[in-house]
C-alpha cells in the first residue's frame, strides 16, 4: 500500500486515526501494531510471517544478550545470522547463483525468490537493536508489543528511514499527542505527498517517455539523466517526509533522512545529506568497528571501499549497484586525500563538480547492466554519433520545461525560505496545503502511474 494512494489516504489512514485517538492510552501501541501488520500484509501477504518471526527472534535474543552477558556474543551471533542470513537468502541468493554459473559455466537452477517488501529496512532496524543492546547503548524492551510496534511501525516499515530503537524507545513507552505536533505532521506529510505525486511521478513519466524514444539525441540522454536524478530525490525524500509526518501524527519523532543533497558542495557533503539514516548505519555498525579513520592509510582505504561496496550492494542484487557504491568510494578517497581542500576553496566549481558526478552516479544506478551504463554515458557525452538535439527531444523539453524548473528550485532551500516567510500570513498557509491535497487527489484519480522507486530495494 503506497502512502500516495487513494486506498491509504482516504480509507486506511482516516480509520486508523479515528480508532487510535478513541482508544485509551494503554491500547495505542496495540492499535498501531495491528494496523501496521494489516498495512504490510496488504502489500506482502506471502511473506508477512517473516516480519513476525524477525520480531520474535530479535526480541528473545535481545533479552538473552542483556540477561546473560557471559554468553552475550553467542546470542548476538544467533540474531545476526538470522537477520543477515534472511536478507542474503531472499535478496541475494539468485544473484550469487547466477554469478557462480557465469564463472564456472555451471547450471545450478535459480530459485526465483520474490524479495519481501521492506526487508532491507526492517532487517537493519533489528540488527541495530541487538548490536546496541550488546554494546550497552540501549536497554532491551521489556514489552514484546512495544518492540514489535517499533519493528512493524508502518510509516517507516517498507521504505525507511531506518529508525533506531534508541531514537523512539522512550516514545514507545510514553508519548503525548498534541495538536501542534499533529499539525506539523500534516504539513510535513502534505509536502512529501506533493513531492511524490506532483513532481516525482511527472518526472517519472518524462523519463519513461525519453527512454522509449526510437531516435535519441545527446540532449535526450542528458535530460533523462537529470530527470531521473530529480525523480529519485523527490520520490525518496518525499516518502521520508511522509514517514516523518505520519510519525508525528502518533507522537513519534523520526530523525531527518535528507537535507537538500542536490546543493552539496562535494561528494562527502552529498553523503552527509542523502539517505542519512543509511549512511549513518554503515558508519556506526561497519566503518567504526573496522577502525574508521584511526588506522593506516591502506586500512582506511580498505574500510571506505568495504563500506561503500556494502552500501551499493544493499540497494540491490546487481553489479550496477555495486559499481555505484565503489564509484562513490573512489571520489570520497580522492576528496579526503588529494583535492578536497582545493575543491572547498572554489566558489562555484565545487557545486558543478558535485552535481555532475551525482547525475553520472544515478545513470549507473538506473542502468541494469554494465553494457547499458556504457551506452548511456557515451550517448550522454556525445560519443555515440548521435545528434546534439532532434525534434523529439525538443518536444519533451517544451512539454516538461516548467516541471524541470520547479523541480530544480524545489531541490534547493529556496521554497523553505519562502514558506517560512508565508507563515506570517496565517490565513494563506492552510489554503496552500488544502490546495496541494486537492491537486494530489485529482492527479491520483486521473492516472494509474504511481510507482515508488525504493520499494525495489
Residue 448 clears pLDDT 70, i.e. is over it: no
Helices (H), 23-92: 28-43, 48-67, 72-87
Taking each helix axis from N to C end, the angle separating 48-67 and 28-43, rounded to the nearest 10 degrees, works out to 130
Mean per-residue pLDDT of the chain: 93
Q: At CA 80, angle to CA 78 and CA 83, rounded to 5?
A: 110
Residue 6: how many CB atoms within 10 A of its CB?
12
What is the distance between the alpha carbons of residues 213 and 390, in angstroms, rounded to a whole number? 11
Question: Are both 257 and 380 inside the same structural domain?
Answer: yes
Asked if residue 187 and residue 170 are part of one domain, the reply reads: no
Residue 454, pLDDT above cutoff 80:
no
Residues 188 and 262 in one domain: yes
- Per the domain annotation, does 11 fall within a domain? no
* Span between the terminal Cα atoms of the chain, in Å: 16
Pair (431, 324) in one structural domain: yes
Alpha-carbon distance of 50 to 158, in angstroms, equals: 13
**Is residue 201 domain-shared with residue 148, that is, in the same domain?**
no
pLDDT at 427 over 60: yes
pLDDT digits (tens, 9 = 90+) for 159-211: 879 999 999 999 999 988 888 899 999 999 999 999 999 999 999 999 999 99
User: Which residues are marked as active site?
Assistant: 315
In whole angstroms, what is the distance from residue 128 CA to residue 163 CA?
9
The count of structural domains within the chain is 2
pTM of the entire predicted model: 0.93
Q: Does 91 map to a domain?
A: yes
For 10-34, letters b (16+ CB in 10 Å) and e give eebbeebeeebeeeeeeebbebbbe
Residue 247 lies in a domain: yes
Provide the pLDDT confidence category of residue 449 given band limits of 50, 70 and 90: low
Q: Quick one: average pLDDT of 314-343?
A: 95
Of 14-23, 111-120, 305-314, the one with minimum mean pLDDT is: 111-120
118 and 254 both lie in a single domain: no
Note the pLDDT of residue 383. Answer: 92
What pLDDT band is residue 335 in, cutting at 50, 70 and 90? very high
Q: Cβ contacts of residue 336 below 8 Å, gap of 6+? A: 268
Q: Which domain range does residue 233 map to?
A: 181-456
pLDDT > 90 fraction of the chain, expressed in percent and rounded: 82
**Of the residues 148, 175, 202, the one at which a domain ends:** 175
Across 22-35, average pLDDT: 95
Average confidence (pLDDT) over 377-389:
94
**How far is it, in rounded angstroms, from Cα 117 to Cα 306?**
26
Please write the tens of the pLDDT for every residue from 39-81. Answer: 999 887 888 899 999 999 999 999 999 999 999 999 999 999 9
Amino acid at each position: 500500500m503506497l502512502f500516495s494512494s487513494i486506498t491509504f489516504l482516504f480509507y486506511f489512514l482516516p480509520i486508523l486515526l479515528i480508532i487510535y485517538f478513541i482508544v485509551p492510552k494503554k491500547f495505542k501501541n496495540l492499535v498501531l501494531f495491528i494496523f501496521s501488520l494489516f498495512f504490510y500484509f496488504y502489500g506482502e501477504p506471502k511473506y508477512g510471517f517473516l516480519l513476525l518471526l524477525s520480531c520474535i527472534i530479535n526480541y528473545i535474543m535481545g533479552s538473552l544478550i542483556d540477561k546473560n552477558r557471559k554468553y552475550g556474543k553467542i546470542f548476538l551471533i544467533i540474531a545476526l545470522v538470522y537477520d543477515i542470513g534472511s536478507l542474503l537468502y531472499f535478496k541475494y541468493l539468485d544473484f550469487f547463483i547466477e554469478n557462480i554459473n557465469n564463472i564456472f559455466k555451471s547450471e545450478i537452477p535459480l530459485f526465483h525468490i520474490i524479495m519481501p517488501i521492506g526487508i532491507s529496512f526492517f532487517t537493519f532496524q533489528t540488527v541495530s537493536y541487538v548490536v546496541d543492546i550488546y554494546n550497552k547503548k540501549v536497554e532491551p524492551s521489556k514489552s514484546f508489543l512495544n518492540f514489535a510496534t517499533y519493528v512493524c511501525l508502518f510509516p517507516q516499515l517498507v521504505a525507511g528511514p531506518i529508525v533506531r530503537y534508541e531514537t523512539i524507545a522512550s516514545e514507545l513507552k510514553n508519548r503525548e499527542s498534541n495538536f501542534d505536533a499533529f499539525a506539523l505532521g500534516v504539513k510535513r506529510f502534505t509536502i512529501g505527498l506533493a513531492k511524490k505525486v506532483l513532481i516525482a511521478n511527472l518526472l517519472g513519466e518524462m523519463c519513461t517517455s525519453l527512454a522509449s524514444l526510437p531516435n535519441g539525441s545527446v540532449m535526450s540522454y542528458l535530460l533523462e539523466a537529470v530527470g531521473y536524478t530529480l525523480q529519485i530525490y523527490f520520490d525518496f525524500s518525499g516518502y521520508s517526509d511522509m514517514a516523518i509526518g505520519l510519525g508525528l501524527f502518533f507522537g513519534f519523532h523520526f530523525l531527518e533522512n535528507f537535507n537538500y543533497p542536490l546543493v552539496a558542495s562535494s561528494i562527502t557533503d552529498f553523503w552527509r545529506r542523502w539517505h542519512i539514516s543509511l549512511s549513518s548505519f554503515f558508519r556506526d555498525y561497519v566503518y567504526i568497528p573496522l577502525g574508521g579513520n584511526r588506522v593506516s592509510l591502506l586500512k582506511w582505504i580498505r574500510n571506505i571501499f568495504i563500506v561503500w561496496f556494502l552500501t551499493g550492494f544493499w540497494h540491490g542484487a546487481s553489479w550496477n549497484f555495486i559499481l555505484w557504491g565503489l564509484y562513490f568510494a573512489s571520489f570520497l578517497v580522492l576528496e579526503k586525500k588529494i583535492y578536497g581542500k582545493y575543491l572547498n576553496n572554489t566558489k562555484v566549481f565545487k557545486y558543478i563538480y558535485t552535481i555532475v558526478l551525482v547525475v553520472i552516479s544515478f545513470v549507473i544506478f538506473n542502468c541494469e547492466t554494465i553494457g547499458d551504463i556504457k551506452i548511456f554515458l557515451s550517448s550522454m557525452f556525445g560519443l555515440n554519433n548521435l545528434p546534439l538535439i532532434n525534434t523529439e527531444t525538443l518536444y519533451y523539453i517544451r512539454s516538461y520545461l516548467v516541471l524541470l524548473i520547479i523541480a530544480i528550485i524545489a531541490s534547493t532551500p529556496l521554497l523553505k525560505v519562502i514558506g517560512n516567510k508565508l507563515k506570517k500570513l496565517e490565513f494563506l498557509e492552510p489554503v496552500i496545503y488544502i490546495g496541494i491535497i486537492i491537486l494530489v487527489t485529482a492527479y491520483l484519480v486521473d492516472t494509474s502511474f504511481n510507482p515508488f522507486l525504493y520499494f525495489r530495494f
